[in-house]
Structure formats: structure tokens, C-alpha cells
Amino acid sequence: MQSQLMCSGCRTILLYPRGASNVCCAVCNALTSVPPPGMEMAQLICGGCRTLLMHPRGASSVRCSCCHTVNLVPGPNQFAHVHCGNCRMMLMYPCGAPSVKCAICHYITNVNVSMMFLFLSDLW
């Protein structure tokens, strides 16, 4: 079975066999340490530069190594809302998604951080 992690050099997603302690990137030859077993990783799109970030599951914030933006990590029950770019229908989707497809008109709206509204489902 294989797992994945992000290269510490070029940020390419690397696949590696379970049990490996380090992974050498075929693109940039950087050596990346494998997190200890049981440490689950999650992914997040940086709000500043749109780079894919990997972080330990359960982290509350992640600093992007490219643009140094501090990104808040959405919880498992956080959703965002945006208006469809075509028909203006209010759409709901999980935080971190780069785009959302409207179920009414099938238009794909790219998510722009400035037009996103976060709602915590546990507040409802």
C-alpha cells in the first residue's frame, strides 16, 4: 500500500511505500522525511497564492512556505457559500474547494477568497 506526502523541495506530491522513513524526489532530488505512523495528513489550498499545502490533521493554522500567508484550517463541519457566476444561485461547498459546480445551470464558479463567506455548521 502506498501513501503520499509533499516534497520539501519542489512541493510535488510524492508516493511512497508504507514503512519508508525518507523519500527522494525524482524531480528535484530533495530528501523528505516521512511523518511517523499514525500522523494523518490533510491538504489545504493557500488563500494567498493557491498553492496546495499539506499539514498534520488537527492543525488550526498553516503558514504557506511560498507566500508566508497564515491559513486557517477549516474544521470538518465548515462550509463556504458563494453565488453562482451564471445564475446567481447561492451555492454551498466544503471549505478549501477551488471551484463549485451549480446544480441548476451546471456553471463552474471558481472560488475567490474575497467573495467567500464561512459558516460554521456548529453555530446553526
What pLDDT, in 10s, does the model give residues 32-75?
988 887 777 788 888 888 888 888 878 889 999 889 999 888 77
Q: How do residues 60-116 score in pLDDT, each as one tens digit? A: 899 998 899 998 887 767 788 889 999 999 998 887 677 899 999 999 998 864 443
Are 81 and 89 within 8 A, CB to CB?
Answer: no
Predicted confidence at residue 112, as pLDDT, reads 61
Answer with the residue of higher pLDDT: 1 or 59: 59
DSSP state of 97: -
Neighbours of 96 (CB within 10 A): 18
The pLDDT confidence band at residue 124, using thresholds 50, 70 and 90, is: very low
The Cα–Cα gap between 104 and 47 comes to 27
Based on its alpha-carbon atoms, the radius of gyration of the chain, rounded to whole angstroms, reads 17
**Looking at residues 9-13, what average pLDDT do you find?**
85
pLDDT exceeds cutoff 90 at 118: no
Neighbouring residues of 54: CB distance < 8 A, sequence distance ≥ 6: 5, 6, 41, 42, 43, 44
Grid cell 524526489 is found at 25
Predicted confidence at residue 56, as pLDDT, reads 82
Burial (CB count within 10 angstroms: exposed 0-12, middle 13-18, buried 19+), residue 32: middle
